[in-house]
Amino acid sequence: RLHIKGGKIVNDDMILDGDVYIEDGIIRQVGKDLTIPGGTKTIEAKGKLVIPGGIDVSTHFQLPLPSGIRSADDFYTGTRAAVAGGTTMVVDCVLDTTCSPLEAFEKWKSWADEKVCCDYGLQLAVTSFDPKTKEELETLVKEKGVNAFRAYLSMDSLMLSDVDFVHLLEVSKHLGALTTVHAENGLVIAENQKRIQALGITGPEGVLYSQPEEAEAEATLRAIVLANQVSTPLLVSPVMSKGAADVIVKKRNDGCVVFGEPTAASLGTDGSHYFNKCWAHAAAHVTSPPLSADPSTAGRLMDLLGCGDLHTTGSHHCTYTMAQKAVGLRRLHQDSPRRQRSRGENAGGLGEGRDDRQDGCLPFCCCHQHKCS
């Protein structure tokens, strides 16, 4: 039993000065003048904000790669950091090209069940599509509780063709699942990577040259158009640039049902770090799509998040040690280590007049609850 006393309770719909009573891990009462049983532990919260636990809908714990490298955080260390940062649920991405969707799901579930420190869910990345895939996706939704599938429009062996992406959208619509998309033009990136390697550019700064913002914006537009033709909702995740964000805003104004998810990193920093003389510092900022070199991007994304043109935010937590990064950044699933800090970085806009306290709960708590339900 826990009594949180005298705090400022912040939800998406209201702010209330009052108390919260929790029993057996469940919020039982919220308000003033609560009836509290004897022997209950009391936490004095006067002058503090009491906000819902965060839901991070994009993590990559103990992710195995074809190169044999595995992301550094497993489900224990990753979710432990999540709880320390105020996040009480994560949704990890099942991503395995070596087995069927059902087999991959069961593998991830066995890893998570043994180690998690908080609630979790799983979304499944679909990297190829055939009749058997369709059958297994139906089983995952109807029998395993999966309600979101992820598509990649870039990243070599992960990339779906436009035709297969449309097939996934159609199946998701039929099953009532949400499709999320990593939107970059994979063909453009592959050619750019060859070009910059031929020029001898092998450092972290290469991600800016090989993965330009227009490749993200183009793929974002293409994905939205395809989803709109199927008449099914789409979540673009992540959103790293102004160009991609502006596409989402425009298409929403045109009537498309599309949502955008900037990351903690894109809301908190920029791509200038790729040119830092310290290789380790620069490599620590590598993401995919890359952080924008435009220092005003983070502020723009925060503004759009605050006014509701963008809708959720996640960490895209996918960590590697410096030794792992040294084998070559192209061989890694490029996302940054932000799980513990992402909640605070999202809330950082509160002190800058970009977001009020209620809206600050929406991107990381309430919208995710609707998405995960």
Do 18 and 164 fall into the same domain? no
Do 176 and 303 fall into the same domain? yes
The DSSP call for residue 351 is G
CATH number of the domain that residue 171 is part of: 3.20.20.140
Task: Give Cα separations from 81 to 19, 56, 77, 90, 371 (angstroms).
Answer: 27, 12, 6, 11, 22
| Structural domain boundaries enclosing 39 | 2-44
CATH number of the domain that residue 13 is part of: 2.30.40.10
pLDDT for residue 328 = 63
Sign of the Cα pseudo-torsion (67, 68, 72, 77, in order): positive
Do 223 and 334 fall into the same domain? yes
pLDDT for residue 65 = 82
Helical (H) or strand (E) element with 176: none
Task: Give Cα separations from 52 to 55, 296, 313, 314, 346 (angstroms).
Answer: 9, 30, 15, 15, 14
Do 28 and 62 fall into the same domain? no
3-state SS assignment for residue 305: helix
Do 146 and 107 fall into the same domain? yes
pLDDT for residue 9 = 95
Domain count, the chain: 2
Do 83 and 13 fall into the same domain? no
* Contact between 245 and 310 (Cβ < 8 Å): yes
Q: What is the mean pLDDT of each run of 10 residues along the chain (373 residues)?
A: 95 90 93 93 95 92 86 95 94 95 97 97 96 96 97 94 98 98 97 93 92 98 99 98 98 98 95 94 92 97 95 91 72 47 47 50 49 42
pLDDT for residue 329 = 53
Do 79 and 202 fall into the same domain? yes
Do 40 and 57 fall into the same domain? no
The DSSP call for residue 68 is S
Considering only CA atoms, which of 208, 205, 97, 109 is closest in space to residue 158? 97
Do 18 and 61 fall into the same domain? no
Do 90 and 170 fall into the same domain? yes
Considering only CA atoms, which of 59, 154, 65 is closest in space to residue 333? 65
Do 22 and 79 fall into the same domain? no
Do 114 and 24 fall into the same domain? no
pLDDT for residue 66 = 74
